Structure 1
């Protein structure tokens, strides 16, 4: 009886010790550089069953639909080899990538995770794709020509790439340009040959524009333009370098309680809010302009200037018609305060629809 139990124990011990094991040659593979239009790339991860029991790969789950897995479907005996394949499709996936594949076996998850990585070179664009905006004989990358943040110190120049997609030579003289007084346009090249990329220089004079904050102008380069272009900028007042004493003597805008929460209101209500504007500087404060981010907001201010130590009220009118849900609006004040020439007032709350 003792001998029988001993034999059973040995057999049980041997059975418990008989375990399969997947040993991969490599678990992390880098494809290097792939072309987006070059089709799928494939790599085969090879492994050996280094255990002493048969094993079968039951599933391989990829972390992305861009990766198609494949694997040895047959049972792998101890000492035999198998594989897991990873096929990566780079189409419409430019840039760096790193994906994983989780391997499951007849003995449950194998705790084996495989990785593929690399870099996908973007598919070269045609000139028509790179320059989608038509402007007569020229094509541009963007409909909006953004001059960025500029000051009233001096006119600013910025260059934009253009493409002559026509079959004729384009020169500045051949362009029929409709421009406002504060904007001029020129070509770097005297002549732009057919199918040639060149540069267009936009010169913007903020003094002639006579405005502050976000501004936009529509321009047309030719009479047969299919697209009107917009030239946009954010204009701030220019202040030369000032000493500490000059800064102390300058105008200084202080907004008393610069935010207002109107809570919950019913759509259609017209709200009136007042904000106190105070000049705590030593020179007269001037408002260059006041702008809101919504046509639903209008304002009244009695004077466009505030003397030293004085204040006045800014009346704001907010029309909630055709609104619903959370609202966040802003009013921007541009002044001759050299330290904070741009200051923002915020209005927020929730607008609910009236019940029928």
Structure 2
């Protein structure tokens, strides 16, 4: 009896083995995409559909053709190359996004299946949809000349030195004249580029101000508030505040190199001066050390108040070396609980920015 059962099991396994081998022989051969994710930026609903294009090349020896394309929702439609792609031939996917009544950030997935990839490859269309507004006066409450803005200033957020950051700012023309940006602006620094979409705004039309901030060209680190002046074709000018925090960009550090790279050490990061008199300056020292094996470079030391004076003995430390950071806090004209910050920027790729908090109770 046992022998019969064993023979039956073996027979089943033998019958299944060709299927197993066939499943193993299916090899995914994918198209190589120029970009797997395309960001189309801010999309104004009243301007209708927006189109983006993906390009994929067949780097395989076998011919490939696209069999199916599936979009995540009905707001996205896709047209694609239906020809057979021999080696080195390029496929095109044209994706149209309909912004009708959809607001906010979006990331729409597009699944592409081919004769050599039944599982499907994933592409992403990203952007921010800005729907039509019912009450323009309330939606754009901040006026600068004849232009209405949602906020009184432009906050770029964190800007890194490896690539410029683009910010889309809504604006509405409440005036009676058509407005366009002048080609040259004497009131804008070289690391900030400004353009407008559309290039001209008719009376009653809204658009987008595109602000491109180049952190590397800025050549400085930390928090900045900068006023720029925009000049328009009707000879009007407006001042706009631009806020940013510029950081140096570092590549991710492999686990094996974490003890080798420069490592910034601080003897204290939370300093309590306790009770201080409003008429008396207070000084303290903080020891900075390099706990890594490579040279530590202090890029910058800054504070959020002119009432804190800073002195750094050395801004370059070899492995194991230490230096002294001294500060003097002048509480003149201040009362009550007080907090000040000292920010240290360095080439420590794991923790490039460290903050020292100074607390006090001013009497």
- Structure 1 length as normaliser, TM-score? 0.60
Within 2, Cα distance between the matches of 1:189 and 1:251? 47
Q: Is the 8 A contact 1:160 1:201 kept in 2?
A: yes
Q: In structure 2, list runs of 5 or more residues that go unmatched.
A: 1-132
Q: Secondary structure at the match of 1:167?
A: coil
Q: How much does 1:198 deviate?
A: 0.6
After TM superposition, list the pairs within 5 Å mapping 1:72-221 onto structure 2.
Answer: 126-173=135-182, 178-221=187-230
Q: Is the 8 A contact 2:272 2:359 kept in 1?
A: yes
Within 2, Cα distance between the matches of 1:150 and 1:137? 30
Within 1, Cα distance between the matches of 2:267 and 2:245? 26
Residue number among 255, 261, 264 corresponding to 1:253 in the alignment = 264
Q: How much does 1:197 deviate?
A: 0.9
Q: Give the paired residue count.
A: 228
Q: How much does 1:176 deviate?
A: 5.6
Q: How much does 1:248 deviate?
A: 2.6
Q: Is the 8 A contact 1:136 1:221 kept in 2?
A: no
Q: Is the 8 A contact 1:155 1:203 kept in 2?
A: yes
- Structure 2 length as normaliser, TM-score? 0.59
Q: Deviations 1:219-277 (Å, cap 9, x if unpaired)? A: 1213644x621111111110113322333321000101222212212111111100000
Alignment correspondent of 2:46: none
Alignment correspondent of 2:295: 284
Q: Secondary structure at the match of 2:258?
A: helix
Q: Secondary structure at the match of 2:216?
A: helix
Within 2, Cα distance between the matches of 1:264 and 1:162? 49
Q: How much does 1:292 deviate?
A: 1.2
Q: Deviations 1:147-191 (Å, cap 9, x if unpaired)? A: 111211111111110111122222223886621111010012122
Q: Is the 8 A contact 1:162 1:199 kept in 2?
A: yes
Q: Is the 8 A contact 1:272 1:318 kept in 2?
A: yes
Q: Secondary structure at the match of 2:162?
A: coil
Which stretches of structure 1, 4 residues or more, deviate above 4 A after TM superposition?
174-177
Q: Secondary structure at the match of 1:166?
A: coil
Structure 1's 298 and 266: CA in aligned 2 closer, same or farther, altered over 3 A?
same
Q: In structure 1, list runs of 5 or more residues that go unmatched.
A: 1-123
Structure 1's 189 and 177: CA in aligned 2 closer, same or farther, altered over 3 A?
farther
Structure 1's 249 and 275: CA in aligned 2 closer, same or farther, altered over 3 A?
same
Is it true that 1:238 corresponds to 2:249 in the alignment? yes
